[in-house]
Structure 1
Amino acid sequence: MLKLFTHSKPKKGRYCIESHSVDCSDQGADFVEAKVDVKLDDLLSQRLNFKTEVLDDLIPCPLGALDEFNDPLLSVQVSAFSCGGFAIAVCSSHRIADMSTTMSLINVWTIAAKQELGYIDETCLSISFNFDSSSLFPLKMLPGLPSGLSRDKENIEVHKIVTKMFYFSKSKISSIRERARLDDSSMLCTRVQSVFGLIGKAIIDVHVANPENPKTFTLLQAVNMRKRTVPPLPQNQFGNLYLTAIVQSEVGTERVLALGSFVDCLSKAVKGVVDACGMILSLGEEGQTMISQGTCELMKSLSDPNIYFAGTFSSWCKFPFYEADFGWGKPIWVSIPNVPMKNTVVLIDDKAGEGIEAWVCMDENDMQKFIQHSDIADILSEL
């Protein structure tokens, strides 16, 4: 672990909420070793239909532990199962790092671990992070997003949020992509947009599309800026480097949300953000404003009782989670714990890279309605 943190000094420090900065004081990250008195297969055999709260016991810290000065910015827990298998949980503060940064950190760790075991020559150079993001995008002192998280694991239940995983097979994704076409001449949407589209439409159908009470909805999708700017930012650029694609519309008596039109709106919003990434470094102050726009739009939506917040969507597809070999072999499953943040959707590729696991976090009452939606019930029927 020591070799790992020489490459990631901010993760060893502490976040200062007043100054929106990191005190790189070498207070260290947390590393926890735990024993689990069950076999790993006992957990994996239930993964398509179990309570994700079970996974919370495998993480090293309360999910809301990030704003006190003593809270570490990086916590790791290695859990040893009775069969000899292991689970590695990584908790990384989203205050200073997005998933791309965290994935790069994991890559650094795997190289260091295999060097310790003698599997990689010591002369092999691992990733070095770029820590100049603050000079590219100066601090705006924006207020933090309300996460709704508590500091104590014991208090997670008070949020009444549940997380459920829905598996989309390769054939199901192909079917959804065909359904989402506007017409026979239009191009197929991406795998990610098809899954986001189906889930987003189901959320909106259940909670917004009331003919007697039309409502506007807002939905946000995070878009990684790296490699899309001009010149391209490298994959190892440290920080929260994403823009948000925003879809907002009204549904009700005269506006029916069709899958094709919804996916088209979502795809166009993402394309607009991708195009903006190409200009953001050359626009100066205007470019910096683009980064804060999504946060401001979200805060506005959350405070407006007439706008339904349909969710924050984030795709972790194509991240090399299943290549993270610490010297014991590659992972057999990658997941997230129960995250008590309403209407949050995270997509992760399956191990084969063909199907997609969608992790959906919702109010427990809303989840009951969601799983009864015809499209979602169809997904569940395949499990």
Structure 2
Amino acid sequence: MKVEILSRELIKPCSATPPSFRKYNISLIDEFSPNMNVPTIFYYSATDQDTTLSVPIMSYKHLKNSLSKVLSSFHPFAGRYNKETHSVDCSDQGAEFVEAKVDVQLDDLLSQRKNLKVEVLNDLLPCPLGAVDEYTDPLLAVQVSAFSCGGFAIAVCSSHRIADMTTTISVVKAWAIATKMELGYVVDNDVPNSWNFDSALLFPGQNLPSLPSGISRDKENIEVHKVVTKMFYFSESKILSIRERAKVDKLSKILPTRVQSVFGIIGKAIIDVHVANPENPKGYAVVQAVNMRERTVPPLKNQFGNLYLAAYAQSVVGSEGVELPYFVDCLSSSVKSAIDNCSVVLSLQKEGKPSLSQELRELLKSLANPEIYFAGTFSSWCKFPLYEADFGWGKPAWVSNANIPMKNLVILVDEKSGGGIEAWVNLKESDMKEFIKHNEIKDIIDCN
């Protein structure tokens, strides 16, 4: 697949950001978040072959106009991060907009997705994933790539310095609605009119180091990073089977969640690969992001930024590896504890108790412990309305991740039907070779 860049430009908000909003302070959770751009790619099939030639010109114009309008409501995305002051200069520098064309048909790409070399998808991204935290780095960059058949891909890279997936998908949703309105569609606009930009007041920054991503500022390169990405598809029936096996109490009718069960089978394989080597430590730890927005009191539904807690699970395994029910129960317990903390985190913060900052510092300390093998950062994008992003071409045919050279990162995404799950697993090359040989993972591959 060859991708040719046609143009790059900065899209500025259609109305100037008021002086009172021109400085956006990042929060404690923003500080802790990995220093990387998060990629999401939306693919749209051609719907009318007779009008293919006129679609790109029309679409680029309307996409730019609507993005300009949306940036007025999400002004930090048009600014630049200042790492010296831990704040965003919201002087309307602009989001980056890239136009490109691809020399293959979209259907050919989609037909290969279960066996795709994921690194080719990075050519659809507008910027390197590690190009963050310098003043010249856009906080939002998009690339619109036209396939030879008339289909399109819209790739969105948002800086984890100021945004989690809830924030990013909210921007994408607002942009899609604004584009359809530009095209003359009558749409049901359920995007909130106003967002809150005061996360730093709720969780003041404390100059915490970010969670190290290990990603360089250069374009992703397997030879340099030695981290590969593979997508593993879990069917609805396979997930149900794993949930049954993952029960601690075999007589219970209550099943672990689909997300915890898939994380469990993947995490077990990652840990087993390392436990099999006696030179590696027997302790392990995993971290899972837990969205706190609607779980706090009061809820923080329309809060801009990173709003999540890090559920931390740590244990020790024997030479035979980790037992699936125990591991899933361990994950589930850590997530439940984080959810319980969501209900009190705001009140503790108001009382001046450093609970969250203390927890994050302890977590960073644990992750630096050489006696503990860090088995994974787990993030679930399941239940996010990724497939609702209709820019006027209909809903996406597929939504993908890309090659993220951050070892032991696992991201789960619902398939379009909502029944199955696509697991995007990022591992060191040597680990991936052993991972795909693991009986549990081999079984998943064989089922596909």
Instruction: Say which SS state the counterpart of residue 146 (structure 2) adopts.
Output: strand
Amino acid at match of 2:256: C
Asked if residue 74 in structure 1 is aligned to residue 140 in structure 2, the reply is yes
Asked if residue 332 in structure 1 is aligned to residue 397 in structure 2, the reply is yes
- Closer/same/farther in 2, CA of residues 294 and 285 from structure 1, 3 Å limit: same
Which of 120, 128, 133 pairs up with 2:199? 133
Asked if residue 96 in structure 1 is aligned to residue 168 in structure 2, the reply is no
Amino acid at match of 1:229: T
Aligned counterpart, 1:86:
152
Instruction: Say which SS state the counterpart of residue 214 (structure 2) adopts.
Output: coil
Instruction: Say which SS state the counterpart of residue 326 (structure 2) adopts.
Output: helix
Aligned counterpart, 2:215:
149
Amino acid at match of 1:334: V
Asked if residue 12 in structure 1 is aligned to residue 63 in structure 2, the reply is no
- Closer/same/farther in 2, CA of residues 102 and 288 from structure 1, 3 Å limit: farther
Q: Report if aligned partners of 1:212, 1:252 keep a CA contact under 8 Å in 2.
A: no
CA–CA distance in 2 between the matches of 1:321 and 1:125? Answer: 15
Question: Residues 225-270 of structure 1: CA distance to partner in whole angstroms, max 9, x if unpaired?
Answer: 0100011111x310110001111011124x8521111101110110
Aligned CA RMSD, in angstroms, stands at 1.8
Q: Report if aligned partners of 2:202, 2:349 keep a CA contact under 8 Å in 1.
A: no
Q: Report if aligned partners of 2:220, 2:405 keep a CA contact under 8 Å in 1.
A: no
Asked if residue 196 in structure 1 is aligned to residue 263 in structure 2, the reply is yes
Superposition pairs for residues 36-55 of structure 1, below 5 Å?
36-55=102-121
Structure 2 unaligned spans of 5+: 1-66
Amino acid at match of 1:381: D
Aligned counterpart, 1:276:
341
Q: Report if aligned partners of 2:293, 2:307 keep a CA contact under 8 Å in 1.
A: yes
Q: Report if aligned partners of 1:279, 1:287 keep a CA contact under 8 Å in 2.
A: no
Instruction: Say which SS state the counterpart of residue 192 (structure 1) adopts.
Output: helix
Q: Report if aligned partners of 1:131, 1:238 keep a CA contact under 8 Å in 2.
A: yes
Displacement, 1:366?
0.3
Displacement, 1:370?
0.5
Displacement, 1:86?
0.3
Displacement, 1:156?
5.3
- Closer/same/farther in 2, CA of residues 193 and 125 from structure 1, 3 Å limit: closer
Which of 415, 430, 433 pairs up with 1:350? 415
Superposition pairs for residues 230-245 of structure 1, below 5 Å?
230-234=297-301, 236-245=302-311
- Closer/same/farther in 2, CA of residues 203 and 118 from structure 1, 3 Å limit: same
Compute the TM-score of the two structures, normalised by the length of structure 2.
0.81
Aligned counterpart, 1:376:
441
Aligned counterpart, 1:360:
425
| Paired positions, count | 380
Aligned counterpart, 1:35:
101
CA–CA distance in 1 between the matches of 2:373 and 2:191? Answer: 45
Amino acid at match of 1:221: Q
Amino acid at match of 2:264: G
Superposition pairs for residues 233-312 of structure 1, below 5 Å?
233-234=300-301, 236-253=302-319, 256-284=321-349, 289-293=354-358, 295-312=360-377
CA–CA distance in 2 between the matches of 1:183 and 1:72? Answer: 50
Amino acid at match of 2:255: L
Q: Report if aligned partners of 1:208, 1:308 keep a CA contact under 8 Å in 2.
A: no
Asked if residue 219 in structure 1 is aligned to residue 296 in structure 2, the reply is no
Instruction: Say which SS state the counterpart of residue 138 (structure 2) adopts.
Output: coil
Compute the TM-score of the two structures, normalised by the length of structure 1.
0.95
Displacement, 1:345?
0.2
Higher mean alpha-carbon deviation, 337-346 vs 256-265, is at 256-265
Q: Report if aligned partners of 2:122, 2:220 keep a CA contact under 8 Å in 1.
A: no
Displacement, 1:100?
0.6
